Structure 1
Amino acid sequence: MYQFTPEIPADHWEVEALFDTCFAPGRTALSSYRLREGVAPVAGLSHVARDADHILAGAIRYWPVRIGAVEALLLGPVAVHPTRQGEGLGRALIETSLERAAPLGWQRVMLVGDAPYYSRFGFSLLSDVVMPPPTNPDRVLGRALRPGAWDGISGQVRRWKD
């Protein structure tokens, strides 16, 4: 059994170590990281999962971004420690955090990822939304948290502060 709690500043380096373990060493060179630089993760949505011994098993972060004048959440990274994979923890992190997003006022969420995996959470291709290069456009996915939230949304994804 895992306990999900909002990520706090004291979790930061432990979460970063988990991301380093789960992803390639060059992960911070990805275009999504340029959108995160100098921007705090969204409070109340970025979570850690710890086991009964308080050992970090997984983490998920969300970041605010803009597409034109429209606000969106950028989901990611989400990671589960390799020794805990296959237990449904990634699914639980995603579903739990998405359930909390709409009550906080968010209408839409996007990510860069594998459509076959993320489609089970209601994500689909955002063909009119462009991530900074070098992002494969077939991996830019979105989910409406309110009906029609992605209708008519198009353009370049930008940093929250720009």
Structure 2
Amino acid sequence: MAGRPEGVGSAVATSLGLCEGGASRAVTPSVALGDISPSRGEIGSAFAITAETAVDVPAREALLDRAMGPKRRKKSSEKLRRGRRPSEGLAFVARDASGAVAGTVRLWDVMLGEGGRAALLLGPLAVDPTIKNAGIGSALMRHAITEAARLGHAAILLVGDAPYYERFGFSAEKTGSLAMPGPYERHRLLALELVEGALAGAQGTLKVAGRKLKAQRLPLAA
């Protein structure tokens, strides 16, 4: 397929809505609630997606508080993120024309069951609630999926609403034998295979994996 992003197979390219020549199909506006909080439509030219930096952390956390509220830290997905760093090269922000953080998405390394195969958990995905109809959420999703495929990952899971995420290729078809490590709605555990057959026979509760956060050292008293 001409114009397909490097590292993206035909099935993934189809799920991303890429046509011949690399053009993007129109996306029907929608809103999903819960662990994933995307915006609507296609991204405007006034925004750019870049790798997250340490300087972005305060703005990202403030944005997540505004978009998802104080209960976001009690979600079952948080148990798989707490004390860990995002998967290498898979933390992104959307910036407006001034460089301010307008959206965020990160992906995390997990294992599918005890000693199981590796996969990614996507989330939280959020967009500044004051910005509407800019398509930042959709653009962040497409960028994250493309980069995960380019880096050689085999599958992505998330907790979200199927009517929105099915346009990116996600479904609950292959998550019936998988579970989150806490309360969740089973029908909202969705997955996308980046490599065909990556989730065949996968079962068990998702486990923490990946890089640990470094403990901050307190300054010594004089």
Matching of residue 70 in structure 1 with residue 117 in structure 2 = yes
Which of 93, 102, 108 aligns to 1:57? It is 102
Matching of residue 131 in structure 1 with residue 144 in structure 2 = no
| Mapped partners of 1:152, 1:105: distance in 2 | 20
Helix, strand or coil for the counterpart of 2:70? coil
Richer in strand (by share): 1
Alignment-derived partner of residue 142 in structure 1: 191
After superposition, give the CA deviation of every residue in 1:40-99 in whole Å (9 maximum; x if it has no partner).
012322100111111211110111111132111000000111122321110000001100
Alignment-derived partner of residue 157 in structure 1: 206
Structure 1 residues without counterparts, runs of 5 or longer: none
Richer in helix (by share): 1
Amino acid at match of 2:71: G
Cα distance, 1:24 vs structure 2: 2.4
Which of 54, 71, 91 aligns to 2:138? It is 91
Structure 2 residues without counterparts, runs of 5 or longer: 1-45, 211-222
Same amino acid, percent of matched pairs: 43
Alignment-derived partner of residue 165 in structure 2: 118
Task: Tell me if the contact between 1:6 and 1:43 (Cα under 8 Å) persists in the aligned partners.
Answer: no
Amino acid at match of 2:52: E
- Structure 1: 4+ residue segments shifted above 4 A: none
Alignment-derived partner of residue 48 in structure 2: 3
| Mapped partners of 2:87, 2:53: distance in 1 | 11
Task: Tell me if the contact between 2:56 and 2:101 (Cα under 8 Å) persists in the aligned partners.
Answer: no
Task: Tell me if the contact between 1:47 and 1:59 (Cα under 8 Å) persists in the aligned partners.
Answer: yes
Q: Which has the higher contact order (CA 8 A, sep 6+)?
A: 2
Helix, strand or coil for the counterpart of 1:79? strand
Matching of residue 102 in structure 1 with residue 149 in structure 2 = yes
CA RMSD across the alignment: 1.4
Amino acid at match of 2:141: I
Q: Size of the alignment, in residue pairs?
A: 162
- With normalisation by structure 2, the TM-score equals 0.70
Helix, strand or coil for the counterpart of 2:106? strand
Which of 15, 32, 37 aligns to 2:77? It is 32
| Mapped partners of 1:50, 1:128: distance in 2 | 38
| Mapped partners of 1:16, 1:59: distance in 2 | 9
| Mapped partners of 1:54, 1:124: distance in 2 | 34
Task: Tell me if the contact between 2:91 and 2:106 (Cα under 8 Å) persists in the aligned partners.
Answer: yes
Cα distance, 1:109 vs structure 2: 0.3
- With normalisation by structure 1, the TM-score equals 0.95
Helix, strand or coil for the counterpart of 1:149? coil
